[in-house]
Amino acid sequence: MGAQDACGQIMVVDGDSRACALVVRLLRRAGYPAWAAGTPSEALTEARQNRPRLLVLEVELPNISGFEVVRELRHELGLALPIMFLSSRGTDPLDRVAGLDLGADDYLAKPFFADELLARVRALLRRSEPPASPSGASLTTREYEVLWLLAQGLGQRDIAGRLNITPRTVGNHIEHILMKLGVHSRAQAVACAYREHLVAADSRR
């Protein structure tokens, strides 16, 4: 996945591919767009170029530790990016203290309860982001285009054809639109767009 696709998503970094896939699956089922960074270096590149909503990472990573990832990101990006350790080393109180002192916002030990993970994710996102505003002021130009085409009744593949992008990228834009407008479906997004005058009621292609 490229940086453009990663924007606004929850990034999960774990050297254990099965554990990583489990966390991504839990987040997606809960309605959060999430993806797995292949390597720590990929995670650093994506976070620098196109900041995710939240970073969830293991301490034990190949080549570079999660501690070092956090240290570099805090040095370069400050405190704006929410970071949570989700680690098998979290049973050690000293390890948790070290992670939090380095700049992590939270530290959850493995094995974990899915509901607790999701509760902590919700708490971090609430603290780090302002309440969703239906004004649409935070929508990007591309997101406005996708929303306008949704309002015309076009499906995901048709929108992809109109904008010359992939259906997967359209899906990512739609997920971002739903989050930014504070709604849970495409129909609600379109209704909000008309109500807030983000698209004209009589607009036609």
Render 10-72 in DSSP notation, one character per residue.
EEEE-S-HHHHHHHHHHHHHTT--EEE-SSHHHHHHHHHHS--SEEEE-S--SSS-HHHHHHH
175: exposed, middle or buried (Cβ count in 10 Å: 0-12, 13-18, 19+): middle
Query: What number is the average pLDDT over the span 133-149?
Result: 76
Q: Give yes or no: residues 122 and 170 share one domain.
A: no
Range of the domain at 94: 3-128
Q: Give yes or no: residues 98 and 157 share one domain.
A: no
Please state, in angstroms and rounded to a whole number, the distance separating the CA atoms of residues 182 and 177.
8
Q: Encode pLDDT of 82-136 as tens digits.
A: 999 999 887 888 889 999 998 899 999 999 999 999 999 999 988 765 444 445 5
Q: Give yes or no: residues 37 and 95 share one domain.
A: yes
DSSP 3-state of 162: helix
- Note the residue count of the chain: 205
Domain tally, the chain: 2
Does residue 136 fall inside a structural domain?
A: no
Q: Encode pLDDT of 2-39 as tens digits.
A: 433 444 589 999 988 899 999 999 999 998 889 898 78
Q: Of 77, 98, 128, which residue constitutes the final position of a domain?
A: 128
Q: Of 128, 152, 184, which residue constitutes the final position of a domain?
A: 128
Does residue 202 fall inside a structural domain?
A: no
Q: In what order do the strands lie in the sheet with 54-57?
A: 34-36, 10-13, 54-57, 83-87, 106-109
Q: How confident is the model at residue 49 (pLDDT cuts 50, 70, 90)?
A: confident
The enclosing domain of 145 has a CATH number of 1.10.10.10
Beta bridge partners of 195: none
DSSP 3-state of 2: coil
Q: Encode pLDDT of 158-199 as tens digits.
A: 999 989 899 999 999 999 898 888 888 888 888 888 777 776
Q: Which of 60, 56, 49 is nearest to 22 (CA)?
A: 56
Compute CA distances 179 → 8, 29, 81, 204, whole Å: 9, 15, 17, 25
The enclosing domain of 65 has a CATH number of 3.40.50.2300
